[in-house]
Structure 1
């Protein structure tokens, strides 16, 4: 597989699917944090019974799936741009939600009901947004850095170990920060600890089960983009948009 990491830094590259993956990543990030994060639901597992989980667990791990693919194919620096794009999008969506909720509603019967529903869904958005931004920022960059460094250390071997290992680190940081910041004092401590640990386990399991799909998609992208980036000389600071 061609490796373009040795190309001069000023050499422009055009990728066919990079922008599409970025858009998918940002979409999943916004939806999973603003729609599903605050809702508690339950699942019933064999031999374990019924467990309470946050509804966002069904979709949020997909963002880490795309994060792994971005780092593996395009390198840490280009994934860093995607992380910042998601950060700005989440910040704007949270600000928009806060402003709309606090705008005075029109004086009619529909808005008398709808304002309360809107507040019920989005009035805690500021706290969820702060928790999401902090947890997402720390978790996503940890995931990307670990995967990139493991790729260099293993010379590109054992993709399964790199994706699962980096996700385990990133999701642990994300889950601990998010639930502590978003729901401490809102949910009971029992529910908070149970949901955080359970969701961390489920998110990591999701990555394990998605491994065959990861291999297929990574191989297809590497062939289509003619890219298999190794971050041998990449500065790993998160505070940059350089590629």
Structure 2
């Protein structure tokens, strides 16, 4: 165990970091496409709470996948540090922008006379640029804050209290991610009223945060495995333990 303020991070010269980055970028790309579909869960759930009129839980088609990006982000930040996560965020940014440009070009290309799917193609991928903008803005803000908070907490606590920094960073990151994303994407998926917007915002934030808490044992297991598998992390722990005086 390291002392307070003695944060250890692995170097990027391993096969694990590129694999995690690829998985993160893939999740983000799929989520941006799936999020173009507006979804209402539990439409039987109807009640009024002040100005909020709930007619089911309003979300989007990526609600079950997107939280995984924050789990991966937590793992990268905990094991490799803020700078590594910033590189991962930039990789995702470039790939999603490229995908958006490709969709825009594909929509604008003249359709063959026998192709009957142009309208459906446009209706799904035509909203992606707006969703991409929302996703990029949300995830750049959210993931950056998530990683920053987690790393700063680790620098204060060392290896202890992983659960606290996972939850603390998730609450901060997910809130601002959801707020930014929903503010931009709501009208693109058909949300028109303040009631539906608040529903969309609250459900999104609560759901994403809850998922991360529920899968925390898996996050713990992955982090523990990587810390043991990464030689530079083990050597960093050994180096810190040698220079840190024992507390009687």
Shorter-chain TM-score above 0.5: yes
Establish whether residue 41 from structure 1 lines up as the match of residue 39 from structure 2: yes
Name the residue aligned to 1:235.
none
Q: Is residue 220 of structure 1 aligned with residue 225 of structure 2? A: yes
Deviations 1:139-189 (A, max 9, x none): 111111010001112222211111111111111111111111122374122
Mapped partners of 2:198, 2:160: distance in 1: 36
How far apart, in 1, do the equivalents of 2:216 and 2:43 lie?
A: 22
Query: 1:195 corresponds to which residue?
Result: 200
Extract unaligned runs of 5+ from structure 2: 47-54, 238-248
- 2-side partners of 1:192 and 1:171: how far apart? 16
Aligned 8 A contact 1:183 1:192 in 2: yes
Bigger Rg, which one: 2
TM-score (norm 1): 0.83
Pairs aligned (count): 222
Gaps (5+ residues) in structure 1? Answer: 231-243
- Hey, what's the Cα distance between the residues in 1 that align with 2:8 and 2:100? 37
Q: TM-score, normalised by structure 2?
A: 0.82
- Cα shift readout 1:58-90 (whole Å, capped 9, x = no counterpart): 000100000000010111111111110001011
- Partners of 2:214 and 2:44 lie apart in 1 by 18
What secondary structure sits across from 1:157 in the alignment?
coil
| C-alpha RMSD of the superposition | 2.6
- Is structure 2 residue 25 aligned with structure 1 residue 26? yes
Q: In the TM superposition, what is the alpha-carbon distance from 1:47 to its structure 2 partner? A: 8.4
1:83-127 C-alpha deviation (Å, 9 max, x unpaired): 10001011101111111111121222xx2x210010111111111
